[in-house]
Amino acid sequence: MIPSVLPTYNRAPLQFVKGEGSWLIEADGRRFLDLGAGIAVNALGHAHPALVQALTDQAQTLWHVSNLYEIPQQQQLADQLVDNSFADTVFFTNSGTESCELAVKMARKYWYDKGQPEKVEIITFDGAFHGRSSAGIAAAGTEKMTKGFGPLLPGFVHLTFGDMDGLTDAITDKTAAILIEPVQGEGGIRPVPDAEMKALRQICDDAGILLILDEVQCGVGRTGKLFAHEWAGITPDIMMVAKGIGGGFPLGAVLATEEAASGMTAGTHGSTYGGNPLACAVGSAVMAQVCTPEFLQTVNARAGQMRQALEGLVAAHPDVFDSVRGTGLMLGIKCKAPNIDVVNAGYDNQVIPVPAADNVIRLLPPLNISEDEISEAIARLDAAASQLET
């Protein structure tokens, strides 16, 4: 008999009933150190007082109004995002995949309005993940996500990750945009090197096409800059955001330049919930914390500490681990043992990594994890690895 919850997930037999900062408490009372943060969602950990305050204040005032009316919380968050990024304008969604939908629509509408309606193709890369909507699965193109769900949304051209030569050849008169994650998350924590990010921008400029960045996982302070592309000193035309921006409240956004967004006039797109007062009140509180230089400085310090400790951990367990990868607090360990075994051994030792493709475990702790908690996390991962060696 089918379970009452549609069985599309492989769930671990863990039931968390409470969260405190970097810790999750299981129904049986055990405390787990959370290196997954809801897959980079709980950017400020669990039950952060400023977010609880923002949410409860808003909950006592007004939960929802339609986008038929002005929403000051939405205006405030949009201003914060515009003030702190390349963007001139923001549309709010509820998830990463909805942000993907709009990014694709925006790129196509841009060219349609420019009088070049043939420019509909978007170039993407293998190992990419852009969500589970029809545009998202077609964009990523992996069989695991698309098989049985055809016909797929047409117009995506898939290249090998890092194939810069192939990229120039793949651009044609039909190309509208390139879509890429600056750091692949689900694909196994694969950063695009800064030089390649710069080259991508240049290729888009030379070809006169749009650069769309998917910063759903790597954005909002995760890499130690507010947005990951800042490391390369470039800016996109359109950017997808979600996950960390809501700190655990469902919220996403598409950020764009005035030029790239020029086709999106009244009536061309919408969302019932997108940018609702509760979500934006929380998002605004997240931004207030995350976009300060002091906060990002601390993220970079913790990232350095964690990276160094992980290198030591990998060296100490050469039969279990292969190498460390990633950037900021978006780190991965390529494993030699099956990554699922490592994750399960982590659970046994009350630490929570997240599996990713390419036999990698992901470490995406809350951005405000403490020095001591990182040391404790490493000790627990060390115990997990030792357990696999015996």
Ligand X SMILES: *Cc1c(COP(=O)(O)O)cnc(C)c1O
* Residue 230: DSSP 8-state: G
Query: Rounded distance, CA 77 to CA 283, Å?
Result: 7
Count the neighbouring beta carbons within 10 Å of the beta carbon of residue 378.
Answer: 19
| Choice from 216, 330, 337, 352 touching ligand X (CB under 6 A) | 216
Q: Tell me: does residue 217 bind ligand X (CB under 6 A).
A: yes
Query: Rounded distance, CA 287 to CA 293, Å?
Result: 12
Q: Of 42 and 95, which CB lies nearer to ligand X in the complex structure? A: 95
Q: Tell me: does residue 130 bind ligand X (CB under 6 A).
A: yes
Q: Of 46 and 243, which CB lies nearer to ligand X in the complex structure? A: 243
Q: Of 138 and 385, which CB lies nearer to ligand X in the complex structure? A: 138
User: Using CB under 6 A, which of the segments 50-58, 123-131, 277-285, 347-355 binds ligand X?
Assistant: 123-131
State in angstroms the smallest separation of the CB of 91 from ligand X: 15
Query: Rounded distance, CA 256 to CA 47, Å?
Result: 31
Residues 25, 30, 34, CA angle at the centre, nearest 5°?
A: 50
State in angstroms the smallest separation of the CB of 94 from ligand X: 8
- DSSP-assigned letters across all residues of 103-122: HHHHHHHHHHHTT-TT--EE
| Choice from 131, 247, 277, 328 touching ligand X (CB under 6 A) | 131
| Choice from 42, 95, 175, 339 touching ligand X (CB under 6 A) | 95
State in angstroms the smallest separation of the CB of 44 from ligand X: 18
Query: Rounded distance, CA 205 to CA 209, Å?
Result: 6
State in angstroms the smallest separation of the CB of 192 from ligand X: 12
Q: Of 54 and 239, which CB lies nearer to ligand X in the complex structure? A: 239
- Kindly list the distances between the CA atom of residue 287 and the CA atoms of 41, 82, 151, 221, in Å, as whole numbers in the listed order: 13, 11, 39, 9
User: Amino acid identity of 160?
Assistant: T
Q: Tell me: does residue 339 bind ligand X (CB under 6 A).
A: no
Please give the radius of gyration of the chain, using alpha carbons only, rounded to the nearest integer: 21
Tokens describing residue 326 = 């990633």
Q: Of 214 and 373, which CB lies nearer to ligand X in the complex structure? A: 214
Q: Of 218 and 337, which CB lies nearer to ligand X in the complex structure? A: 218
Site string for ligand X, 158-187 (x = CB under 6 A): -----------------------x---xx-
Q: Is the dihedral of CA 51, 293, 241, 187 positive or negative?
A: negative
User: Using CB under 6 A, which of the segments 58-66, 127-135, 141-149, 294-302 binds ligand X?
Assistant: 127-135
With CB under 6 A, what is the number of residues at the site for ligand X? Answer: 14
Buried b (16+ CB within 10 A) or exposed e, 116-132: eeebbbbbbbebbbbbb
Q: Tell me: does residue 129 bind ligand X (CB under 6 A).
A: yes
Residues 24, 41, 369, CA angle at the centre, nearest 5°?
A: 55
Pair 219, 160: CB distance under 8 Å = no
| Choice from 35, 77, 242, 352 touching ligand X (CB under 6 A) | 242
Q: Is the dihedral of CA 149, 111, 245, 281 positive or negative?
A: negative
Q: Tell me: does residue 214 bind ligand X (CB under 6 A).
A: yes
Tokens describing residue 21 = 């900062």
User: β-strands 89-93, 175-180: how paired?
Assistant: unpaired
Q: Of 313 and 366, which CB lies nearer to ligand X in the complex structure? A: 366
State in angstroms the smallest separation of the CB of 87 from ligand X: 18
Q: Tell me: does residue 93 bind ligand X (CB under 6 A).
A: no
Instruction: Give the residue nearest to ligand X (CB).
Output: 96
User: Amino acid identity of 136?
Assistant: G
User: Using CB under 6 A, which of the segments 7-15, 19-27, 212-220, 370-378 binds ligand X?
Assistant: 212-220
Tokens describing residue 335 = 């494993």
State in angstroms the smallest separation of the CB of 35 from ligand X: 16
Q: Tell me: does residue 327 bind ligand X (CB under 6 A).
A: no
User: Using CB under 6 A, which of the segments 23-31, 50-58, 214-222, 256-264 binds ligand X?
Assistant: 214-222
Task: Give the residues lining the site for ligand X (CB under 6 A).
Answer: 95-97, 129-131, 181, 185-186, 214, 216-217, 242-243
